[in-house]
Structure formats: structure tokens, C-alpha cells
Amino acid sequence: MRILLIEDETAIANFIAEGLKEEGFAVDMAGNGKTGLHMALDNLEEYDLILLDWMLPGMSGIEICRAIRKENQTVPVIFLTAKDTVDDVVFGLETGANDYLRKPFAFEELLARIRVLLRNSTGAQHIFRYADIEMNLDTHRVTKGGAPVELTRKEFALLELLLRHKGKACRRTRIIEKVWDIHFDHDNSVIDVYINALRKKLDSPGSLSFIQTIRGVGYRVNDDA
């Protein structure tokens, strides 16, 4: 899942971005309103959620939210705001934001709200299963046959993407968009390295891999288990 974070206070932005990356999200950051709006409008289809500071240099969060809503009614937007009067909050929600969080906030609260919105917007489950593999997004745990399996954050994000789209092909370009961030400049053969790591950790000995390679396209987890 890919999140755009528009926030001008570097310390807060880094704190949020680091936390989200640890949870397996791909995060793109903008430090002012204009850049944020450009990034949002240029890649609206790619973002699963937008975190938007209210007070930004160049352009306010309110203006950005309105501009985003003109183009896209569905992408979830959460306001991060120090403004906390009831009127401000109502006004913020009326511009089309889905939720708001008052600064200072605990990262765990932000994460919980993000998960709720993503679940609503994508109809997303928080538990995925394939055969004896189970992935729980809330507890951030993966088990195989009931035994915990340790995954790196990229492995976790990649597995989530594959299981979320069970039965469908995950194209390589889509994997890069959803699991890596905008600064990704490696040879995308890095995907194969992560796929192999997942196979090593989660395949059952003696049977075909649970991840199928679709030559020249990408990967797929079948919808048969």
C-alpha cells in the first residue's frame, strides 16, 4: 500500500514516514503544499491514502483537499492538524477529508485510523490466508501451519500485495509502485530476490511454490487455497 504524506515539519514527517515504512507501507513525502498537490494529482491512482497537514507553506491543506476531491472522490484523506476547535474540524471534513488527527498524536492511533480507512475504501480484509499461511495486518504477524514466520518489512508488504490480489497477476510495475517508493532506482530484478525469500520462508517442501511466476509479467498467488 502506498501513502502520500504532505507535511512541512520535517521532524514530524520523518517520524510518521519511518513508522509507516516499518509497517510495510511505501511512503512518498512532500514538504510543502504545491509539491504535495502536484504529487497527488500526478499519481492519484497510485496512492491508497493521503496524509495531509492543515497548515502548509505555499498552499493550505484545505485547498489541496478540495483540488484532490475534484479529481478523485474515493482516495481516503486524513488531516493532521493542530487546529482543534469543533468548527475547524467540521470545516475540514466538509472539504472532503475522511478523518482528522490532532497533533500531537500517538503513532499507534494514526496507524489504527489508516487501517480502518483502508479497510473501508478497499473493502480490504485484515487477515489473509493461503493454505496453511496466515497473515494478520493488525498484529503484523505471519504464520505458517500456526508457527510464526519472521519477514522483513519489504517481504511483508510484498506478501500483502500478492495475497490481497489472490488469483490475479501482480505486474512488476505494480509491485514496484506499491511496495517500493518514488525514489526507487534499482534494477527491478530486486523483486525476484524478495519473491525468492518469500518462497524460501513460506513454501511447503516438496510441492510447487505458492507464488507462480508469470513470465514477462509478474507474479500470482492462485485463488485455489
CB of 64 to Ca ion, least distance (A): 12
CB of 8 to Ca ion, least distance (A): 5
| Residue 107, amino acid | F
Whether the CA torsion 65, 118, 2, 74 is positive or negative: it is: negative
Which span sits near Ca ion by CB under 5 A: 6-14, 27-35, 116-124, 211-219?
A: 6-14
Q: Which residues pair with 79 in a beta bridge?
A: 52, 100
Asked if residue 53 binds Ca ion (CB under 5 A), the reply is: yes
Whether the CA torsion 159, 160, 161, 167 is positive or negative: it is: positive
Secondary structure element (H or E) that encloses residue 178, with its range: helix 172-179
Asked if residue 63 binds Ca ion (CB under 5 A), the reply is: no
Asked if residue 55 binds Ca ion (CB under 5 A), the reply is: yes
CB of 91 to Ca ion, least distance (A): 17
Asked if residue 88 binds Ca ion (CB under 5 A), the reply is: no
Asked if residue 28 binds Ca ion (CB under 5 A), the reply is: no
In the bound state with Ca ion, the residue whose beta carbon lies nearer, of 56 and 142, is 56
Q: Supply φ then ψ for residue 212, to 5 degrees.
A: -90, 140
**Is 187:193 a contact under the CB 8 Å cutoff?**
no
In the bound state with Ca ion, the residue whose beta carbon lies nearer, of 8 and 132, is 8
Site of interaction with Ca ion (CB under 5 A): 8, 53, 55
